Amino acid sequence: MSSVSIESQVAEFNQDFEAQIGPVLAATFAQEQADLRAAGTPDAVASAGEKLPDATLLTRRNELVRLSEVLAGRPAVLVFYRGAWCPYCNITLKTYQRDLLPALTERGVTLVAVSPQAPEGSEAAVQAGELGFEVLSDPVNELAAALGIVTEPSPEARSAHTQLGFDVSDHNADDTARIPFPTVVVVDGTGTMRFVDVRTDYTSRTEVGEILEAVQHLPG
Protein backbone atom coordinates (compact mmCIF):
# COMPACT_ATOMS: atom_id res chain seq x y z
CA MET A 1 0.00 0.00 0.00
CA SER A 2 1.19 3.50 -0.76
CA SER A 3 2.45 5.45 2.24
CA VAL A 4 1.26 8.73 0.74
CA SER A 5 -1.70 9.88 2.82
CA ILE A 6 -4.60 11.89 1.47
CA GLU A 7 -3.73 14.59 4.00
CA SER A 8 -0.20 15.01 2.62
CA GLN A 9 -1.46 15.07 -0.96
CA VAL A 10 -3.99 17.76 -0.03
CA ALA A 11 -1.31 19.84 1.68
CA GLU A 12 0.85 19.69 -1.43
CA PHE A 13 -2.10 20.56 -3.66
CA ASN A 14 -3.09 23.51 -1.48
CA GLN A 15 0.31 25.12 -1.80
CA ASP A 16 0.07 25.25 -5.58
CA PHE A 17 -3.66 26.05 -5.61
CA GLU A 18 -3.37 29.01 -3.26
CA ALA A 19 -0.47 30.41 -5.28
CA GLN A 20 -2.56 30.05 -8.42
CA ILE A 21 -5.79 31.67 -7.18
CA GLY A 22 -4.21 34.40 -5.08
CA PRO A 23 -4.58 35.49 -1.45
CA VAL A 24 -8.11 36.91 -1.64
CA LEU A 25 -9.82 33.78 -2.98
CA ALA A 26 -7.58 31.58 -0.82
CA ALA A 27 -8.74 33.49 2.25
CA THR A 28 -12.38 33.04 1.21
CA PHE A 29 -12.03 29.27 1.03
CA ALA A 30 -10.00 29.17 4.24
CA GLN A 31 -12.77 31.03 6.06
CA GLU A 32 -15.40 28.66 4.69
CA GLN A 33 -13.39 25.68 5.92
CA ALA A 34 -12.92 27.27 9.35
CA ASP A 35 -16.66 27.94 9.62
CA LEU A 36 -17.45 24.35 8.67
CA ARG A 37 -15.08 23.01 11.31
CA ALA A 38 -16.56 25.35 13.93
CA ALA A 39 -20.12 24.29 13.11
CA GLY A 40 -19.22 20.63 13.51
CA THR A 41 -21.19 17.57 12.48
CA PRO A 42 -24.97 18.14 12.27
CA ASP A 43 -27.09 16.41 14.92
CA ALA A 44 -29.18 14.64 12.28
CA VAL A 45 -26.28 12.66 10.81
CA ALA A 46 -26.85 8.89 10.74
CA SER A 47 -24.92 6.73 13.19
CA ALA A 48 -23.26 3.35 13.16
CA GLY A 49 -25.72 0.66 14.14
CA GLU A 50 -28.54 2.09 12.02
CA LYS A 51 -29.80 0.52 8.80
CA LEU A 52 -28.52 2.01 5.55
CA PRO A 53 -31.39 3.79 3.78
CA ASP A 54 -32.26 2.64 0.29
CA ALA A 55 -32.52 5.12 -2.57
CA THR A 56 -32.97 5.39 -6.33
CA LEU A 57 -29.71 6.38 -7.99
CA LEU A 58 -28.45 6.85 -11.54
CA THR A 59 -25.67 4.95 -13.24
CA ARG A 60 -23.13 6.62 -15.51
CA ARG A 61 -25.33 5.43 -18.39
CA ASN A 62 -28.29 7.38 -16.94
CA GLU A 63 -30.09 4.21 -15.86
CA LEU A 64 -32.18 4.09 -12.67
CA VAL A 65 -30.97 1.62 -10.06
CA ARG A 66 -31.77 0.98 -6.42
CA LEU A 67 -28.83 1.07 -4.04
CA SER A 68 -30.01 -2.22 -2.54
CA GLU A 69 -29.70 -3.80 -6.00
CA VAL A 70 -26.14 -2.53 -6.39
CA LEU A 71 -25.05 -3.86 -3.00
CA ALA A 72 -27.02 -7.12 -3.35
CA GLY A 73 -26.53 -8.08 0.28
CA ARG A 74 -22.75 -7.69 0.17
CA PRO A 75 -20.67 -5.68 2.64
CA ALA A 76 -19.70 -2.35 1.12
CA VAL A 77 -17.87 0.92 1.50
CA LEU A 78 -19.86 3.94 0.30
CA VAL A 79 -17.96 7.14 -0.46
CA PHE A 80 -19.94 10.36 -0.74
CA TYR A 81 -18.08 13.05 -2.67
CA ARG A 82 -18.98 16.53 -3.89
CA GLY A 83 -18.24 16.16 -7.59
CA ALA A 84 -15.63 15.77 -10.29
CA TRP A 85 -15.12 19.55 -10.09
CA CYS A 86 -13.70 19.19 -6.55
CA PRO A 87 -9.92 18.62 -6.54
CA TYR A 88 -10.01 17.15 -3.02
CA CYS A 89 -12.54 14.59 -4.18
CA ASN A 90 -10.37 13.66 -7.14
CA ILE A 91 -7.32 13.19 -4.91
CA THR A 92 -9.41 10.99 -2.62
CA LEU A 93 -10.99 8.84 -5.31
CA LYS A 94 -7.64 8.24 -7.01
CA THR A 95 -6.14 7.21 -3.68
CA TYR A 96 -9.01 4.84 -3.01
CA GLN A 97 -8.60 3.34 -6.47
CA ARG A 98 -4.91 2.73 -5.91
CA ASP A 99 -4.73 1.81 -2.24
CA LEU A 100 -8.21 0.81 -1.05
CA LEU A 101 -9.93 -1.03 -3.90
CA PRO A 102 -7.45 -3.95 -4.11
CA ALA A 103 -7.76 -4.62 -0.37
CA LEU A 104 -11.55 -4.45 -0.48
CA THR A 105 -11.75 -6.72 -3.51
CA GLU A 106 -9.61 -9.28 -1.71
CA ARG A 107 -12.07 -9.19 1.19
CA GLY A 108 -15.20 -9.37 -0.98
CA VAL A 109 -16.27 -5.83 -0.08
CA THR A 110 -17.90 -3.58 -2.70
CA LEU A 111 -16.71 0.01 -3.20
CA VAL A 112 -19.23 2.58 -4.44
CA ALA A 113 -18.85 6.34 -4.84
CA VAL A 114 -21.90 8.63 -4.82
CA SER A 115 -22.36 12.31 -5.71
CA PRO A 116 -25.27 14.59 -6.70
CA GLN A 117 -23.78 15.19 -10.14
CA ALA A 118 -25.50 14.36 -13.37
CA PRO A 119 -24.31 11.03 -14.85
CA GLU A 120 -21.91 12.94 -17.12
CA GLY A 121 -20.12 14.12 -13.98
CA SER A 122 -19.86 10.56 -12.70
CA GLU A 123 -18.31 9.56 -16.01
CA ALA A 124 -15.87 12.48 -15.76
CA ALA A 125 -14.81 11.32 -12.28
CA VAL A 126 -14.25 7.79 -13.57
CA GLN A 127 -12.19 8.97 -16.53
CA ALA A 128 -10.12 11.42 -14.50
CA GLY A 129 -9.24 8.87 -11.85
CA GLU A 130 -9.27 5.76 -14.05
CA LEU A 131 -11.67 4.34 -11.48
CA GLY A 132 -12.51 0.66 -11.46
CA PHE A 133 -15.43 0.80 -9.04
CA GLU A 134 -19.08 1.85 -9.29
CA VAL A 135 -19.71 5.60 -9.41
CA LEU A 136 -23.36 6.64 -9.08
CA SER A 137 -25.45 9.81 -9.03
CA ASP A 138 -27.78 10.67 -6.16
CA PRO A 139 -29.69 13.11 -8.38
CA VAL A 140 -31.86 14.83 -5.76
CA ASN A 141 -29.66 14.00 -2.76
CA GLU A 142 -32.23 11.43 -1.63
CA LEU A 143 -29.64 9.15 -0.07
CA ALA A 144 -27.49 11.96 1.31
CA ALA A 145 -30.54 13.62 2.88
CA ALA A 146 -31.61 10.34 4.50
CA LEU A 147 -28.15 10.16 6.07
CA GLY A 148 -28.31 13.80 7.19
CA ILE A 149 -25.17 14.86 5.33
CA VAL A 150 -26.49 17.48 2.87
CA THR A 151 -24.91 20.92 2.87
CA GLU A 152 -23.99 23.57 0.29
CA PRO A 153 -21.15 26.02 -0.29
CA SER A 154 -21.34 29.35 1.49
CA PRO A 155 -22.45 32.39 -0.57
CA GLU A 156 -18.90 33.72 -0.40
CA ALA A 157 -17.48 30.42 -1.66
CA ARG A 158 -19.99 30.31 -4.50
CA SER A 159 -18.95 33.82 -5.48
CA ALA A 160 -15.34 32.65 -5.45
CA HIS A 161 -16.33 29.67 -7.60
CA THR A 162 -17.91 32.08 -10.09
CA GLN A 163 -14.66 34.04 -10.28
CA LEU A 164 -12.91 30.75 -11.05
CA GLY A 165 -15.36 30.09 -13.86
CA PHE A 166 -17.89 27.56 -12.57
CA ASP A 167 -20.92 27.06 -10.35
CA VAL A 168 -21.80 23.92 -8.42
CA SER A 169 -25.43 24.04 -9.56
CA ASP A 170 -24.32 23.65 -13.18
CA HIS A 171 -22.87 20.25 -12.32
CA ASN A 172 -25.64 18.86 -10.11
CA ALA A 173 -28.48 16.81 -11.57
CA ASP A 174 -31.12 18.90 -9.76
CA ASP A 175 -29.59 22.29 -10.67
CA THR A 176 -29.09 23.21 -7.00
CA ALA A 177 -25.85 23.75 -5.07
CA ARG A 178 -26.71 21.06 -2.51
CA ILE A 179 -23.85 18.62 -1.96
CA PRO A 180 -22.96 16.01 0.64
CA PHE A 181 -20.36 16.42 3.32
CA PRO A 182 -17.51 14.09 2.30
CA THR A 183 -18.52 10.90 4.07
CA VAL A 184 -17.50 7.25 4.23
CA VAL A 185 -19.99 4.60 5.33
CA VAL A 186 -19.04 0.96 5.91
CA VAL A 187 -22.07 -1.34 5.77
CA ASP A 188 -22.26 -5.05 6.52
CA GLY A 189 -24.11 -7.72 4.55
CA THR A 190 -27.33 -7.15 6.52
CA GLY A 191 -27.44 -3.47 5.51
CA THR A 192 -26.37 -2.22 8.93
CA MET A 193 -23.95 0.71 8.97
CA ARG A 194 -20.93 -0.21 11.05
CA PHE A 195 -18.82 2.91 10.47
CA VAL A 196 -19.89 6.45 9.54
CA ASP A 197 -17.22 9.12 9.12
CA VAL A 198 -18.45 12.60 8.14
CA ARG A 199 -15.88 15.28 7.29
CA THR A 200 -17.48 18.72 7.47
CA ASP A 201 -14.27 20.39 6.23
CA TYR A 202 -14.13 19.19 2.63
CA THR A 203 -10.32 19.34 2.55
CA SER A 204 -10.20 16.55 5.15
CA ARG A 205 -10.94 12.96 4.05
CA THR A 206 -11.10 9.49 5.56
CA GLU A 207 -7.74 7.79 5.14
CA VAL A 208 -7.42 4.32 3.64
CA GLY A 209 -6.16 2.82 6.90
CA GLU A 210 -9.21 4.06 8.81
CA ILE A 211 -11.54 2.41 6.32
CA LEU A 212 -9.67 -0.89 6.36
CA GLU A 213 -9.70 -0.88 10.15
CA ALA A 214 -13.50 -0.58 10.06
CA VAL A 215 -13.78 -3.30 7.42
CA GLN A 216 -11.72 -5.66 9.54
CA HIS A 217 -14.35 -5.39 12.26
CA LEU A 218 -17.27 -6.35 10.00
CA PRO A 219 -19.10 -9.40 11.35
CA GLY A 220 -18.61 -12.78 9.72
pLDDT tens-place string over residues 9-34: 999 999 999 999 999 999 999 999 99
CB atoms within 10 A of CB 11: 11
Q: 6-216, what's its fold?
A: Glutaredoxin (3.40.30)
Element (H, E) at 10: helix 6-21
Alpha-carbon separation of residue 197 from 48, 79, 122 (angstroms): 9, 10, 22
Domain boundaries, the chain: 6-216
Single pTM value for the model: 0.96
201-217 mean pLDDT: 97
- What percent of the chain is modeled with pLDDT above 90? 98
pLDDT for position 55: 97
Q: Give CA angle at 115 (12, 112), nearest 5°.
A: 90
Alpha-carbon separation of residue 28 from 69, 142, 143, 161, 162 (angstroms): 41, 29, 29, 10, 13
Query: Given a cut of 90, is residue 199 above it in pLDDT?
Result: yes
pLDDT tens-place string over residues 100-151: 999 999 999 999 999 999 999 999 999 999 999 999 999 999 999 999 999 9
